[in-house]
């Protein structure tokens, strides 16, 4: 039996950058680009725009807006029960499985509370209201006779999440608009919006795993569980169904990858790149040291779960950035060379220009 190739941390870094379109900007339609990188985190509304700007040639904000309006891209609660932009094709391929598991979890949590609500009736009423036009969460709660959501009251939040999951709600286009706050979301039923029900079952998990490995591999089973939010035991049949390459990392852990997926040499020189809040590149592995050094992890990923805006130098997270009075300010973790700072400043001026109000 042939000995499995050991991939260094630097080789894993270059593979990740290549698959995340961070070695060089490319020309792709927005839905295809989003598929290539797995999905785009969308909790902070500007994040998917900045993520695409860092990856695509001459990306303009209206390209994502049009893709959502044309129902080619959808914003929905998916992996790890967090908001993502995904292509409509990917949503229909696997979202039904994530939805079914989310519903089961929410029902189990609600079972610990006294609950006389008729969830079936509420779901049907909710679907009737969103069939008329996109509606906001406060509007829907009022129409359903449910209380406003308060931060410290868990049960009403569980009820809302269960109803929206059972109704398969996704965000309407206005929810994807560039804005600096998270208000303004409205919802539509996914099946009516996309014209079909999203798939569930083993084939859905296989598709999700294939998408993950294409975007973030080579990776361990624990890595795949981290990004998908699914237990390793749930993913194991999908690993068995796929024809995969196998490697080891420097710690001896088994890595899995798709055949012919890119593995650039460690000598590849990456350009500086700016990443938005919650960029998936920093969240897609159980061991994140292939891009985020352990020494900076607590600074980048806060206790409340917030993932800060970061910049990459030589492929690794090297500091934080902020927009300050129309300019990008850098907070490097270590001293930058003159050439590194100059390259970041050039990239930063372009980002500041992109960041400026234009829509």
For 47-56, write each residue's pLDDT tens digit.
Answer: 999 999 999 9
**Range 24-28 average pLDDT:** 97
Of 22, 30, 40, the residue nearest 86 (C-alpha): 40
- 324/93: higher pLDDT: 93
What's the pLDDT score for residue 324? Answer: 85
Does the pLDDT at position 329 exceed 80? yes
What's the pLDDT score for residue 286? Answer: 95
Task: Tell me the HSE value of 348 on the side-chain side, using a 13 A CA sphere.
Answer: 22
**Range 342-348 average pLDDT:** 96
| CB 167 within 8 Å of CB 189 | yes
What's the pLDDT score for residue 156? Answer: 86
Does the pLDDT at position 300 exceed 90? yes
What's the pLDDT score for residue 281? Answer: 96
Does the pLDDT at position 359 exceed 50? no
The mean pLDDT value of the chain amounts to: 93
Q: What is the pTM of this model?
A: 0.94
Does the pLDDT at position 92 exceed 60? yes
**Which region, left, alpha or beta, applies to residue 314 given φ > 0 means left and ψ of -120 to 50 means alpha?**
left
What's the pLDDT score for residue 205? Answer: 98
Q: How far apart are CA 126 and CA 143, in angstroms?
A: 8
**Range 290-299 average pLDDT:** 96
What's the pLDDT score for residue 180? Answer: 53
Does the pLDDT at position 358 exceed 60? no
Which of 17-26, 128-137, 238-247, 336-345 is predicted with the least confidence, judged by mean pLDDT?
128-137
Does the pLDDT at position 151 exceed 80? no
Return the beta strands (E) in the chain as ranges: 6-7, 40-41, 73-77, 83-87, 169-171, 187-189, 245-249, 254-257, 273-275, 310-313, 316-324, 327-332
What's the pLDDT score for residue 342? Answer: 97
What's the pLDDT score for residue 183? Answer: 58
Does the pLDDT at position 57 exceed 60? yes
Interval 161-214: pLDDT, tens: 999 999 999 999 988 888 655 556 899 999 999 999 999 999 999 999 999 999
Q: How far apart are CA 301 and CA 8, in angstroms?
A: 24
Does the pLDDT at position 1 exceed 70? no
Structure tokens at 194: 């996309």
């Amino acid at each position: 039996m042939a000995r499995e190739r050991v991939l260094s941390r630097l080789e894993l870094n270059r593979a990740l950058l290549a698959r995340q379109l961070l070695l060089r900007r490319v020309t792709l339609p927005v839905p295809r680009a989003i598929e290539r990188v797995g999905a785009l985190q969308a909790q902070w509304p500007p994040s998917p725009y900045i993520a695409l700007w860092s990856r695509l040639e001459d990306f303009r904000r209206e390209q994502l807006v049009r893709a959502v309006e044309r129902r080619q891209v959808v914003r929905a609660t998916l992996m790890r029960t967090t908001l993502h932009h995904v292509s409509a094709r990917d949503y229909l391929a696997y979202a039904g499985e994530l939805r079914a598991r989310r519903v089961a979890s929410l029902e189990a949590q609600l079972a610990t509370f006294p609950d006389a609500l008729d969830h079936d009736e509420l779901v049907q009423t909710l679907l009737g209201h969103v069939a008329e036009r996109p509606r906001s969460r406060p509007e829907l709660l009022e129409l359903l006779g449910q209380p406003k959501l308060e931060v410290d009251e868990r049960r009403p939040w569980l009820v809302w999440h269960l109803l929206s999951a059972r109704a398969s709600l996704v965000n309407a286009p206005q929810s994807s608009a560039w804005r600096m706050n998270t208000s303004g979301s409205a919802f539509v039923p996914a099946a009516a919006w996309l014209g079909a029900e999203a798939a569930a079952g083993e084939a859905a998990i296989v598709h999700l795993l294939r998408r993950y490995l294409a975007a973030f591999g080579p990776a361990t089973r624990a890595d795949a569980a981290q990004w998908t939010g699914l237990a390793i035991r749930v993913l194991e049949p999908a690993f068995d169904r796929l024809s995969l390459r196998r490697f080891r990392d420097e710690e001896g852990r088994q890595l899995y990858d798709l055949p012919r997926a890119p593995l650039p040499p460690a000598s590849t020189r990456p350009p500086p790149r700016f990443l938005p809040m919650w960029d998936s590149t920093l969240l897609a592995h159980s061991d994140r040291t292939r891009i985020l050094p352990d020494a900076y992890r607590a600074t980048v990923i806060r206790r409340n779960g917030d993932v800060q805006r970061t910049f990459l130098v030589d492929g690794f997270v090297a500091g934080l950035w902020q927009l300050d009075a129309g300019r990008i300010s850098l907070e490097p973790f270590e001293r930058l060379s003159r050439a590194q700072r100059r390259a970041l400043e050039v990239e930063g001026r372009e980002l500041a220009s992109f960041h400026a109000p234009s829509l």
